Amino acid sequence: MSAATTTKAPADQAGTHTAAVKKDARPKTPWWMWLTVGGIVFYCLFPFYWLINLSLKTGADLADNSLVPPNPSLDNYQAIFRNDDFVRALGNSVWVAGWTTVLAIIIGSFCAYALARLRFKGKFFILGLVLAITTFPGIAIAAPLFRLWSDIGLFDTLTGLIIPNLTFALPLSIFILVSFFKEIPKDLEEAALVDGATYFQAFRKVVVPLAAPGMATAAILVFIGAWNEFLFAITLTSTPQARTVPAAIAFFTGATTFDIPIGTITAASVVISVPLIIMVLLFQKRIVAGLTAGAVKG
């Protein structure tokens, strides 16, 4: 018994020593790297802090460049929520961004599935064309759309904002979903077809559930893009009834003709930014996974 205990003790000590050596062998992060990361984080977050700082100032304090509001107040936030145009614009943004996201995911999933699974001539050309659309400047089609929408009655309507948003939302969703569909084994669909399922049933009951993370990623990115869209919102609307939040903020007025409503503008900017920041923080891993899907093959 004593010999066994004596033999076990050195073995335990050797294991502990090995673990300590492995722990010490891990490279230590140099101090300058932590300093660099801290500087980058400060550089990224300071503008948003300054936005909050201004939103809590009123009157003469808005001209003060102090880092901390001398007399913090929520008057600016109360003012924007008493503004019926701003509240209506919030609802319009939710409607436009929501429908843009739903349509982009539904239509984009069919297109991406065809590009990922079917074999036909010109497939890579079509995919390249889809990706090229994402680099197309929106200002190039704003003026023609203004004329066309005015002629067919879609100007100053929410539908007239959803359609242009889809122009750039669809390529993004297709690009993300193609990578996810390619990673799904084709054998699963073939097994469903052998069991008697149709092609649509195999797509809906097999492929879509497996591609749910990618579809969620695409939905988040499309929603953020549609929520922040300003060019079409300002060009294709003329009344508060159809304006979304970014366009509505541009029409804020001050107490006098030449007064710039900095306080209410910054408060409104904070209000519309916070939901997006929370969304990104909650789904940051999924967003990164969606953007890098298919980039590395093991």
pLDDT at 289 over 70: no
The residues, any chain, with a CB within 8 Å of residue 268's CB and separated by 6 or more, are 80, 86, 245, 248, 249, 252
- pLDDT value at residue 255: 57
- pLDDT value at residue 257: 55
Instruction: Please compute the mean of the pLDDT values over residues 85-93 and round it to a whole number.
Output: 93
Measured in residues, the chain has a length of: 298
- pLDDT value at residue 243: 92
Tokens found for residue 10: 């050195």
- pLDDT value at residue 40: 92
Burial (CB count within 10 angstroms: exposed 0-12, middle 13-18, buried 19+), residue 19: exposed
- Mean pLDDT computed over every residue of the chain: 82
Task: Give the DSSP letter string of 177-242.
Answer: HHHHHHHS-HHHHHHHHHTT--HHHHIIIIIHHHTHHHHHHHHHHHHHHHHH--HHHHHS--STTT
- pLDDT value at residue 18: 54
pLDDT at 245 over 90: yes
Instruction: Please compute the mean of the pLDDT values over residues 152-173 and round it to a whole number.
Output: 91
pLDDT category, 254, cuts 50, 70, 90? Answer: low
Instruction: Please compute the mean of the pLDDT values over residues 121-126 and round it to a whole number.
Output: 80
Higher per-residue pLDDT: 295 or 273: 273
pLDDT at 287 over 80: no
Give percent of the chain above pLDDT 90: 30
Instruction: Please compute the mean of the pLDDT values over residues 233-251 and round it to a whole number.
Output: 91
pLDDT at 293 over 70: no
Which residue ranges does the chain devote to CATH 1.10.3720.10?
A: 81-292
- pLDDT value at residue 103: 95
Give percent of the chain above pLDDT 70: 85
- pLDDT value at residue 67: 84
Tokens found for residue 19: 């673990």
- Greatest mean pLDDT range, 1-5, 58-62, 65-69, 84-88: 84-88
What is the sign of the dihedral through the CA atoms of 282, 284, 285 and 290?
positive
pLDDT at 297 over 50: no
User: Under CATH, what is the fold of the domain 81-292?
Assistant: MetI-like fold (1.10.3720)
pLDDT at 17 over 60: no
pLDDT at 96 over 90: yes
Question: Which residue type occupies 242?
Answer: A
The span from the CA of 199 to the CA of 97, in Å, is 31
Let me know the angle formed at the C-alpha of 234 by 231 and 168, rounded to the nearest 5 degrees: 30
- pLDDT value at residue 165: 92
